[in-house]
Structure 1
Amino acid sequence: MTSRLQIIEDVKIFIIAALSGVLLAMSLNMFLIPANVFASGFTGVAQIISELIPLSPGVLLLLLNIPVAVIGWLKVGKKFTFYSFVNVAFTTFFLEIIPVQGFSEDIILNSVFGGVLSGIGAGVVLKWGASSGGMDILVLLAAKKSDRPVGVYFFIMNAVIVMTAGLMFELEKALYTLLTLYVTSRIIDTIHTRHVKLTAMIVTNKADDLQDAFYQKVTRGVTRIPAKGGYTKEDKEVLMIVITRYELYLLQQVVNDVDPLAFTNILQTTGIVGMFRKED
């Protein structure tokens, strides 16, 4: 039964990754590329390089993600990296078959709707335990290796994209690119979560089993706090674990598998002082 449920779950994530690829490709070929407005992350980088060499953004996006996928497979997690690369592959495929044709001459409409579709595509795949590849995998790797604010990496790459848009075209294009990046980030925040790090407080009477599962699958340290049920008076424990937003779906799956009756409270974490990695 467990194997069957896992297969159903894998098929579901595969379909989500494919649908996300369709949305990301539509945002580019129908809105952003016709308006000369750049997307965020590796997609925007692929657009920039495509303006300089005779390769399509889709092919370049795939090529840029291959070395990142190898690193992610070795350092981040096989399942997360696999479905992230599936998303990239579908994005590349649909970028090649969907014609580049704008629906409007209004650059604001192109910027906003391109950002909305891109945000939905990226946010949905994040919510289901994968990513749109590229920068997400690098940021997750940075989060595993450093306690520095990983939002800095997003800011630096997107700042380079905005400045490049201004240099290659004109300042106005850079401002519209900034608008697209803002809309994309807001949509992702709405669908998934705006916080890079989160704290999960899990009330359970299967603390040992959950802790072992977290060590095996989530690779984060756990703090155990004695607790008592207010209504049942039953002795329980609260497991406190700090995770990245990329690990939220995996944590939910672990809790559902080990203790479906556990009560989980997800809190926003604005900063961390001290050790974050399990190996510390």
Structure 2
Amino acid sequence: MKLSISDKNKRLVIIVFSGLLIALSLNFFLIPGNIFGAGANGIAQLLSAIFYDLFHIKIGTGYLIMLINIPIGILGWYKVGRSFTYYSVLTVASSSLFTVILPVHQLSTNPLMAALFGGVISGIGVGLALKFGFSTGGMDIIALVLAKTTGKTVGSLMLSTNMIIILTAGFYFSWESALYTIISNYAMSRVVDDIHTSHQKLTAFIVTKEADLVVGALQKSLIRGITVIDSKGAFSNEESKVLMLVITRYELYNLKMTISDVDPNAFMNLVNTADIEGNFLNSDQQELLRKGQSTK
């Protein structure tokens, strides 16, 4: 799906805002409180602290964040999508830049407050990026790759992949630091799941008078089955069509943008879907269909 100028500008605003939130979380709460963030950010913090303690070499966390995300970005390019990875790399660059520019300043001497606020603020940054179709890099990309194949929540997978950071913080620094890191990561994962829950499925009912155009556009942007139902407005007495399809929340953004581009007057109702039976393609099967190969 080709993004409009306004949509690209909206994504750029989210990129800058997400990067700023992550940098604020690191420099104002986590780093001064000796609490470690999630994923690549936490690994960058650990490496920065270890390099300084062992070799007296001070390497900024922002520089390490960018370095760690290079191989992860390559993984995302091939496994998640080029557009997704492109905007994710921009978000990594944004967060790295703000982390380098902003001073490290302790806003709270209470480690519990620092852990909670650091986790919540970074969770908002990560969740917003995912909601708009990209990520903040690092473990976000790895978690999304795993979420598409396991069906588990992005937040829970991110939490499980951060265990190595927690254990390293406990052994190398202190177990109190590790405990506060757990609290911070848990707060972040809950916020991420509240904002972006890609494992959840939705049933979309779209009422439109431009059914053929909408179906054609949807089939180009989403590989999902669409059921077309004849309908008639009770008030207007006008003929229309109802399109019904089941999607994941990860696909919701593309669905909304596609409908808005083709038929701005369409009415869309989204319903949470508890369970499904039958052929619901996962990301690997969708990729095979895009390449014209069989999913069997």
The TM-score normalised by the length of structure 1 is: 0.84
Distance 1:247 1:229 in 2: 28
Aligned to 2:17: 19
Are residues 65 and 169 of structure 1, via their aligned partners in 2, closer, same or farther at CA, if it must alter by over 3 Å?
Answer: same
Query: CA deviation digits over 1:132-164, x for unaligned, max 9?
Result: 1222223333445x2543546324212333222
Distance 2:116 2:140 in 1: 22
Are residues 246 and 42 of structure 1, via their aligned partners in 2, closer, same or farther at CA, if it must alter by over 3 Å?
Answer: farther
Structure 1, unpaired ranges of 5+: none
Query: CA deviation digits over 1:161-203, x for unaligned, max 9?
Result: 322222222222222112112222333344x234533324132
1:276 alignment partner, one of 276, 281, 296: 281
Distance 1:60 1:109 in 2: 26
Query: CA deviation digits over 1:112-150, x for unaligned, max 9?
Result: 111122122222223333221222223333445x25435
Whether the 8 Å contact between 1:142 and 1:150 is mirrored in structure 2 is no
Aligned to 1:237: 242
1:196 aligns with 2:196: no
1:110 aligns with 2:114: yes
Aligned to 2:62: 58
Are residues 117 and 209 of structure 1, via their aligned partners in 2, closer, same or farther at CA, if it must alter by over 3 Å?
Answer: same
SS in 2 for 1:35: coil
Aligned to 1:134: 138
Letter in 1 for 2:103: P
Kindly state the Cα deviation for residue 254 of structure 1 after the two structures are TM-superposed. Answer: 1.0
Kindly state the Cα deviation for residue 15 of structure 1 after the two structures are TM-superposed. Answer: 2.0
Kindly state the Cα deviation for residue 252 of structure 1 after the two structures are TM-superposed. Answer: 1.3
Structure 2, unpaired ranges of 5+: 52-56, 290-294
2:4 alignment partner, one of 3, 6, 9: 6
Show the 5 A alignment for 1:75-90.
Answer: 75-90=79-94
SS in 1 for 2:246: strand
Letter in 2 for 1:19: F
Aligned-pair identity (%): 37
Distance 2:281 2:182 in 1: 32
Task: Give the greater-gyration-radius structure (CA).
Answer: 2
Whether the 8 Å contact between 1:130 and 1:246 is mirrored in structure 2 is no
1:92 aligns with 2:96: yes
Whether the 8 Å contact between 2:119 and 2:187 is mirrored in structure 1 is yes
After the TM superposition, which segments of 4 or more aligned residues of structure 1 sit over 6 Å from their partners? Answer: none
SS in 1 for 2:94: helix
Kindly state the Cα deviation for residue 96 of structure 1 after the two structures are TM-superposed. Answer: 0.8
Whether the 8 Å contact between 1:23 and 1:118 is mirrored in structure 2 is yes
Are residues 161 and 227 of structure 1, via their aligned partners in 2, closer, same or farther at CA, if it must alter by over 3 Å?
Answer: farther
Distance 1:140 1:211 in 2: 27
1:160 aligns with 2:160: no
Distance 1:143 1:17 in 2: 22
The TM-score normalised by the length of structure 2 is: 0.80
Letter in 1 for 2:64: L
1:46 alignment partner, one of 20, 44, 47: 44
Query: CA deviation digits over 1:212-269, x for unaligned, max 9?
Result: 3333333x322315242452463413221322x3332222111111222223233445
Distance 2:227 2:67 in 1: 44
Kindly state the Cα deviation for residue 91 of structure 1 after the two structures are TM-superposed. Answer: 0.5
